[in-house]
Structure 1
Amino acid sequence: MVKKEYYLEYKIKKNRPGLLGDISSLLGMLSINIVTINGVDDKSRGLLMRAESEDQIKRLESILKTMDTIDVVKLREPKLRDKMAVRHGRYIERDEDDRKTFRFVRSELGLLVDFMAELYKMDGHRLIGIRGMPRVGKTESIVAASVCANKKWLFMSSTMIKQTVREQLLRDEYSPKNIFILDGVISANRAGEKHWQLVREVMQLPAVKVVEHPDVFAENSPYSIDDFDYIIELRNEPDEEITYEAVDKNKMFQDSEFGGFNF
């Protein structure tokens, strides 16, 4: 029988020597394998486990609830945020009102790249938007995640090295295994109908598309923010306001002879 992954998170009520050993022994007696274990935020601990049946997990849950040293927070099939929490020791911040929006600061680029790489590995169409001020790390995170996911990336519009606006792709570039990257500001201000026709073609592919400045993209295309599966916000500091006034000023530099770097 194929083993299935589960996620267990618990808060420690009474920390004492040997607590983790007791839980590990319990899992061993129930023939549940530990895949990864880590502290998650303050006094929580998270485990990724593998079990052959749900009965094993139900028995585990019933026993854990009798322990006065811990409180079970979650016991379920792991979500992506659960896996990230175990790997990095903390949960990714998520907007309470808009559940598809995830927030990062520049000091968390490693966590962001890992998160995006996991999104890239998913099959089928995924539309990801990333908001952030100029030079906060948007493009470098997108590319680094592509490398981490072992995917080829294609700039359809960008200012990473020089201003790029693609109007056609080579036949092998239409592969659903590729990551298609657009800059919403460049597509809106510099692209013609041929570019937008190409965008419409790419949107039909069962592939990952990443759009920098998704709000500008939505305002100037047939697509809306509701069409995005994930919105990522990247800031220099947690309280930084993301505005597009600075983006417009930055574009003046990008249009100059030596412009073009938009990290």
Structure 2
Amino acid sequence: MAKLEWYLEYQIQKNRPGLLGDISSLLGMLRINIVTINGVDDKRRGLLLKCDSYEQIKRLESILNTMDNITVTKLRQPKLRDRLAVRHGRYIQRDADDKKTFRFVRDELGILVDFMAEMFKREGHKLIGIRGMPRVGKTESIVAASVCANKRWLFLSSTLLKQTIRSQLIADEYNVDHVFILDGVVTTKRGNERHMQLVREVMRLPATKVVEHPDVFVQNTEYTMDDFDYIIELRHDPDEEITYELVDDRQMFDPSGFNGFEF
């Protein structure tokens, strides 16, 4: 019988020597295996667990609720955010009002790449938007996540090295296992009808699509923010405001002094 995976997170109310040992011993007596353990944010600890039955978890929960030194904050089947929290020792920040929006700062690029790579590994249609000011690391993070997920990436439009605007793909590029990347500003401000037709074709594929500057993209196309499954915000620091006032032709379309190209 396959083992069941669970995520346990608890807040330490009163830290004392041997607290973790007591909890580990309790898990051992209940025959629940610890897969991974790590501190999660301040005074919280997260554990990935494996067991044979749901009854073991119910017994664990009942006993933990009698302990004065800890408060159980999560006991559930692990979500992606739980796995990453244990792996990196911190939780990904999520918008309190918009649950599909996740926030990162540049110092957290490792977590961001890991987060996107896990999403890229999942099969089927996913539309991901990523907001951020120029040169904060948006495109580089998408490419790095594609490498981590062992996926080939294709730019439909980009300013990474030169301005890229694709108007067609060759046959083997229409692959649902690829990660398709486009820059919402370049696509809507410089793309012609052939380019937009290609974007529509790719949008219909059951594959992963990542749109930089999704707000500009939806303002100038038939797509809406409701079409996006995830929105990622990347800032240099937590207080940075993401605006498009500084996004002009000089910055967005020829950042390295090269002429753009189209193919």
TM tier, smaller: over 0.9
Residue 256 of structure 1: how far off its partner (Å) = 7.1
**Aligned-partner Cα distance in 1 for 2:259–2:74:** 49
Please say if 1:122 is aligned against 2:110: no
How do 1:149-228 and structure 2 match up within 5 A? 149-228=149-228
**Aligned-partner Cα distance in 1 for 2:123–2:253:** 38
For residues 75-97 of structure 1, the C-alpha deviation after alignment (integer angstroms, 9 at most, x for no partner) is 00111111111111111111111
The residue type paired with residue 168 of structure 2 is: Q
Please say if 1:239 is aligned against 2:239: yes
In structure 2, the CA distance between the partners of 1:252 and 1:49, relative to structure 1 (3 Å rule), is closer
For residues 130-164 of structure 1, the C-alpha deviation after alignment (integer angstroms, 9 at most, x for no partner) is 00000000000000010111111000001112111
Query: Does structure 2 retain, via aligned residues, the 8 Å contact 1:134–1:250?
Result: no
2:86 paired residue number = 86
- Aligned residue for 1:245, secondary structure, equals coil
**Aligned-partner Cα distance in 1 for 2:68–2:114:** 35
In structure 2, the CA distance between the partners of 1:86 and 1:136, relative to structure 1 (3 Å rule), is same
How much is the aligned-residue C-alpha RMSD, in angstroms?
Answer: 1.5
2:45 paired residue number = 45
The alignment covers a number of residue pairs equal to: 260
The residue type paired with residue 128 of structure 1 is: I
2:139 paired residue number = 139
For residues 155-196 of structure 1, the C-alpha deviation after alignment (integer angstroms, 9 at most, x for no partner) is 000111211111111111111110000000110011111111
**Aligned-partner Cα distance in 2 for 1:249–1:201:** 27
- Aligned residue for 1:118, secondary structure, equals helix
Query: Does structure 1 retain, via aligned residues, the 8 Å contact 2:139–2:160?
Result: yes
Residue 258 of structure 1: how far off its partner (Å) = 3.1
For residues 95-151 of structure 1, the C-alpha deviation after alignment (integer angstroms, 9 at most, x for no partner) is 111111111111111111111111111121100000000000000000001011111
**Aligned-partner Cα distance in 1 for 2:257–2:15:** 62
Residue 14 of structure 1: how far off its partner (Å) = 2.0
In structure 2, the CA distance between the partners of 1:61 and 1:250, relative to structure 1 (3 Å rule), is farther
Unaligned residue ranges in structure 2 (runs of 5+): none
**Aligned-partner Cα distance in 1 for 2:141–2:173:** 21
Residue 255 of structure 1: how far off its partner (Å) = 6.8
1:34 paired residue number = 34
Residue 252 of structure 1: how far off its partner (Å) = 6.2
For residues 208-250 of structure 1, the C-alpha deviation after alignment (integer angstroms, 9 at most, x for no partner) is 1000000111111111111101111111111111111212254
Q: Give aligned-pair identity as a percent.
A: 73
Unaligned residue ranges in structure 1 (runs of 5+): none
2:15 paired residue number = 15
Residue 63 of structure 1: how far off its partner (Å) = 1.0
Query: Does structure 1 retain, via aligned residues, the 8 Å contact 2:159–2:253?
Result: no
The TM-score normalised by the length of structure 1 is: 0.95
